[in-house]
A = this chain, B = another copy of it.
């Protein structure tokens, strides 16, 4: 793996997890020290991330972590619902036993991790399995473009969820595990309309929760979140 690839992975990781706060300037000299490499691989990584909208760039003025805003969260969630519902319908139509088995397996692994508390709790392992579950639902859609957009939107919305995950502020009266199970059940039963409705509801609930958290905490948007 080249240094540029390592830089891309590390920067993406740190931006999505909020270790590099939204809006923060990404100075080459700082990054060079932080990641222990020269300017070239860092600039290459930053250019890739710019194309993915995780960093912004201004000519001759360097790079910044892309800012967050409630408007963007709302947009990302809405587009995500459209993209993922289409993909889910296609997957349900096209998916074979292997696809179904992948969903069962991903849900099982996710639930195992949800059940772990105390010293076994690992928020990042949980996040990885949450991603893997949602990815597994769409895996059979047979559309590389759709899957790419899913990845992009997942990363974009993930940035809003991380601060609340870290704060362990869980939404009251919500059983996310039950939502996942119902979603998997409807999908495996090939009930596309029901599965799509559950998927949309799942995301709307998360959006509402995040909106309320950020809307209360930061009256002036999310510029300093993370």
Contacts and interface: CB of A to CB of B under 8 A. Distances in A.
Interface string A176-194: 0000000000000000000
Interface stretch (A28-36, A39-47, A93-101): A39-47
B2 A75 contact: no
Given A2-B60, A79-B145, 15 more contacts: A1-B59, A2-B59, A40-B43, A43-B44, A44-B47, A45-B47, A47-B47, A48-B51, A72-B144, A75-B144, A75-B146, A76-B145, A78-B143, A79-B146, A82-B82
User: Dominant SS at the A interface?
Assistant: helix
A53 interface: yes
Size bracket of the A interface? 20 to 34
Contacts of A2: 59-60
A59 B72 CA distance: 34
A189 B56 CA distance: 38
A148 interface: yes
A4 interface: yes
A137 interface: no
Contact of A4 (B45, B47, B75): B47
A113 interface: no
Contacts of A122: none
Interface string A156-200: 100000000000000000000000000000000000000000000
A111 interface: no
